[in-house]
Amino acid sequence: MSEPKTEIIETDLLVIGGGTGGPMAAIKAKEANPKLRVVLMEKANVKRSGAISMGMDGLNNAVVPGYATPEQYVKEITVANDGIVNQKAVMAYATGSFPMIQYLDKLGVKFEKDGSGEYNMRKVHHMGTYVLPMPEGHNVKKVLYRQLRRLQVAVTNRYMATRLLKGADGRIAGAVGVNTRTSEFLVVKAKAVILACGAAGRLGLPASGYMFGTYENAANCGDGYAMAYHAGAELANLECYQINPLIKDYNGPSCAYVTGPFGGFTANNKGDRFIECDYWSGQMMLEFWRELQSGNGPVYLKMDHLAEETISEIETILHTNERPSRGRFHERRGNDYRKQPVEMHISEIGFCSGHSASGVAVDEFARTTVPGLYAVGDMASVPHNYMLGAFVNGGIAGADAAEYCANVDLAAHDEGHLAAEKERVLAPTRREDGLTPHEMEFKTRRLVNDYLEPPKVTAKMRIGQRRFAEIRDDLSALCARDPHELLRALEMQTILDCADMAAAASLYRTESRWGFYHLRVDHPETNDDEWFCHTALYKDENGQMAHAKRAVDPYIVPVEADEMAAYHQLRVKTPAAAE
């Protein structure tokens, strides 16, 4: 490959990731200040990128007046995350939730409404009502794209951001992008950067062995986490993995949120319900995993007791939005919701705050610990955010960044740093032969499964770390023969960074917490005396991975000890299965 060109552009705000939170950040920044120069950099194509590329089945966490209050929501999220939350950030989401629904509605996103045009909230459990279905939710991306077009946000599709740039004073100065089809560089100098790169969904390897058969959009391989880490930002609670109950092999959502209100439920091989936890959380995954271990598995999504009319309604929703290939998967296997329950399984591990509580540490304004750098959506540390959270926090970040940009000038980035990054990116293209990105990624992810999955065993995680170090040595043989292979080669390095972070974070917290997500065999108890805190992982001055404890900010919505306990007492008491 001949040496690729470099183009340098200047803007006020750079948003990286055009999935869900990113577009909303760009939109709200432009709305706050129409004169602001905003660039949206996307690895794929904004039209159809990210978790909601085909739309969404519904909101899981809508805080709608008359159905739930922000205080109630904050309390439930606090309890569901074993108390380790930044309540201010959760509250910022909760109060922004309803205005965002109205805003999306106005833009043309379709939420389920009843016969008189009011939102048709569904009750899934007795604690609060947070589910707002979107049976016609396939147009979300279209609506976002239309608004970006109206506001004339500059979009650069097919550029993968690889590293952030910083000024001498530690402020953010922009980012480096690489075109995924030409390998040309695009350096964007910016006063502020909002990271919205989604989850780290290609961390573990799906049991099928198909590397792209992940729950998350496979383009979301964790670049945001790696970029934030290398820029010196703190990452919080990464040991709180994402693990999901999914349709076996298909690895898509089993969609209890959709089928629940219609009467579907998760059952064991006797057809009995066994999950007691209302919330998609580590606790629920623990119950799920124990059932699989206990000999009562497989676990199923049971719908065969429902009426034909109900099943066809469910099918229309599940097979048109979100993951429409689900119908095709079932068809090939002869699965019919009417006749037999659908086999489910537990997913490989990943990072994602959408369903857990880890991510780049942010405050209630979505600010990270690096001045001028923001993070939103699945990669930011606001727990259980889901789609609406990505929108709300994206909007918060956009508005805050617009204001920030008005008060600062562009920082000058370090040219040596930029040159080094270009060299790092291009290194795999300078080799004629060696190891392929595909096999190096496969091996990294296979080792993640072997050594990092819960139940977490100290000795195993240490072996994992040694093996990851070997792979890191092998990077000197990584070879990319064209721009597409270079894209995968860069992603593979991100995945390796995330694997290292997952191992280090898990070893640091010497207790068990968040149910299955951080179940440590050598430290089986929850230890509030020592570990009622966030953990921060960051790159120290010497370029080493370092850790620190960060206090949980005083609650703004008090949660009584017995409320916390009451939640746990609701659980089924099953004997712990053999590890």
Partner 1 sequence: MPVFDAFDDDLDDLKERAADPDAGVRRVAMMELAEQVGPEAIVLLLKGLGDPDPEVRAAAAKALDEHDGPEVVEGLVGSLEDPDETVRLSAAESLADKKEPSCGPLLIERAEHSDPFVQAAALRALRELTLPDALAAALKALRNPAPEVRREGLGVIGWLKAEQAMPALIATASDEDPTVRRATMSALVFVRPGGPGASTLVAGLSDPHWQVREEAAVSAAKIRLPEATVALIGALGDDVWQVRIKAANALGRLKAESAVDALGPLLDSDIPNLRKEAAAALGEIASPAAIPALERAMDDPDPDVRKMIRWALGRCHAAV
Partner 2 sequence: MPIITHAKSAAVVIDDAKCIAEKGCTVCVDVCPLDILAIDEGRQKAFMKYDECWYCMPCEADCPTGAVKVNIPYLLR
Residue 126 contact, options partner 1, ligand FAD, partner 2, none, Cβ 5-8 Å cut-off depending on partner type: partner 1
Alpha helix positions (H), 135-241: 140-150, 223-230
Q: CA 78, 84, 89 angle in degrees (round to 5)?
A: 65
Identity of the residue, 83 or 434, whose beta carbon is nearer to partner 2 in the bound complex: 434
Identity of the residue, 265 or 300, whose beta carbon is nearer to partner 1 in the bound complex: 265
Identity of the residue, 307 or 548, whose beta carbon is nearer to partner 1 in the bound complex: 307
The residues near 542 (Cβ < 8 Å, ≥ 6 apart) are none
Residue 386 contact, options ligand FAD, partner 2, partner 1, none, Cβ 5-8 Å cut-off depending on partner type: ligand FAD
Pairing of strands 159-166, 172-179: antiparallel
Residue 117 contact, options ligand FAD, partner 1, partner 2, none, Cβ 5-8 Å cut-off depending on partner type: partner 1
- 362 part of the interface to ligand FAD, by CB under 6 A: no
Q: Measured between alpha carbons, how far is 129 from 114 in angstroms, rounded to an integer?
A: 16
Residue 570 contact, options partner 1, ligand FAD, partner 2, none, Cβ 5-8 Å cut-off depending on partner type: partner 1
> Quick count: other Cβ atoms within 10 Å of Cβ 459?
10
Measured from the CB of residue 137, what is the shortest distance to ligand FAD in angstroms?
8
> Quick count: other Cβ atoms within 10 Å of Cβ 446?
15
Beta strands in 279-319 (DSSP E): 299-302
Measured from the CB of residue 435, what is the shortest distance to partner 2 in angstroms?
7
Contacting partner 1 (CB under 8 A), which of 69, 72, 157, 449? 157
Q: At what angle do helices 70-80 and 87-107 cross, to 10 degrees?
A: 120
Q: Position 520: which residue type?
A: R
Window 33-72: contact mask with ligand FAD (x via CB under 6 A)? --------xxxx----xxxx---xxxxx------------
Q: Measured between alpha carbons, how far is 322 from 252 in angstroms, rounded to an integer?
A: 9
Q: Measured between alpha carbons, how far is 405 from 192 in angstroms, rounded to an integer?
A: 7
Q: Measured between alpha carbons, how far is 306 from 342 in angstroms, rounded to an integer?
A: 14
Residue 230 contact, options partner 1, ligand FAD, partner 2, none, Cβ 5-8 Å cut-off depending on partner type: none
Q: Say how many CA atoms lie within 13 Å of 486 toward its Cβ.
A: 30
- Give kind and range of the element (H or E) at residue 392: helix 386-406
Task: Judge contact between 518 and 240, C-beta under 8 A.
Answer: yes
Q: Position 216: which residue type?
A: E
Q: Position 179: which residue type?
A: N
Identity of the residue, 114 or 433, whose beta carbon is nearer to partner 1 in the bound complex: 114
Choose among 399, 387, 398: nearest CA to 352: 387
Task: Judge contact between 503 and 468, C-beta under 8 A.
Answer: yes
Contacting ligand FAD (CB under 6 A), which of 11, 12, 15, 17? 17
Residue 83 contact, options partner 1, partner 2, ligand FAD, none, Cβ 5-8 Å cut-off depending on partner type: none
Pairing of strands 373-375, 245-247: unpaired
Contacting ligand FAD (CB under 6 A), which of 12, 76, 112, 223? 223
Stretch that binds partner 1, among 225-233, 303-311, 345-353, 539-547 (CB under 8 A): 303-311
What the block records as the tokens of 468 is: 């990851």
The residues near 348 (Cβ < 8 Å, ≥ 6 apart) are 203, 204, 205, 206, 207, 214, 243, 445, 448, 449, 453
**Residue ranges in 388-447 that form contacts with ligand FAD under rule CB under 6 A:** 388, 390
- 181 part of the interface to partner 1, by CB under 8 A: yes
Residues interacting with partner 2, by CB under 8 A?
44-45, 47-50, 53-54, 158, 180-181, 206, 208-214, 217-219, 249-251, 323-325, 328-329, 332-333, 433-436, 477, 479, 481, 484, 487-488
Identity of the residue, 16 or 505, whose beta carbon is nearer to partner 2 in the bound complex: 16
Contacting partner 1 (CB under 8 A), which of 118, 423, 530, 540? 118
**Residue ranges in 297-336 that form contacts with ligand FAD under rule CB under 6 A:** 322-323
DSSP helix/strand/coil, 535:
strand
Residue 487 contact, options partner 2, ligand FAD, partner 1, none, Cβ 5-8 Å cut-off depending on partner type: partner 2
What the block records as the tokens of 15 is: 């948003």
Identity of the residue, 93 or 185, whose beta carbon is nearer to partner 1 in the bound complex: 185
Q: Position 476: which residue type?
A: S
Identity of the residue, 126 or 339, whose beta carbon is nearer to partner 1 in the bound complex: 126
Measured from the CB of residue 77, what is the shortest distance to partner 2 in angstroms?
29
Q: Measured between alpha carbons, how far is 283 from 78 in angstroms, rounded to an integer?
A: 14
Measured from the CB of residue 262, what is the shortest distance to partner 2 in angstroms?
24
Measured from the CB of residue 352, what is the shortest distance to ligand FAD in angstroms?
7
Identity of the residue, 118 or 528, whose beta carbon is nearer to partner 1 in the bound complex: 118
Contacting ligand FAD (CB under 6 A), which of 20, 86, 237, 283? 20
183 Rama class: left (phi>0) / alpha (psi -120 to 50) / beta: left
Q: At what angle do helices 87-107 and 386-406 cross, to 10 degrees?
A: 100
What the block records as the tokens of 324 is: 């429409």
- 22 part of the interface to ligand FAD, by CB under 6 A: yes
> Quick count: other Cβ atoms within 10 Å of Cβ 168?
10
Contacting ligand FAD (CB under 6 A), which of 81, 97, 179, 217? 217
Q: Measured between alpha carbons, how far is 400 from 39 in angstroms, rounded to an integer?
A: 16
Residue 434 contact, options partner 2, partner 1, ligand FAD, none, Cβ 5-8 Å cut-off depending on partner type: partner 2
Q: At what angle do helices 223-230 and 483-508 cross, to 10 degrees?
A: 70
**Residue ranges in 42-71 that form contacts with partner 1 under rule CB under 8 A:** 46
Residue 115 contact, options ligand FAD, partner 1, partner 2, none, Cβ 5-8 Å cut-off depending on partner type: partner 1
Tell me which residues touch ligand FAD (CB under 6 A): 16-22, 41-44, 49-52, 56-60, 160-161, 196-198, 215-217, 219-220, 223, 252-253, 257, 322-323, 354, 377-378, 386-388, 390
Binding site for partner 1 (CB under 8 A): 7, 9, 46, 108, 113-118, 123, 126, 139, 142, 146, 148-150, 152, 154-158, 179, 181-182, 184, 186, 263, 265, 272-276, 305, 307, 309-310, 570, 572
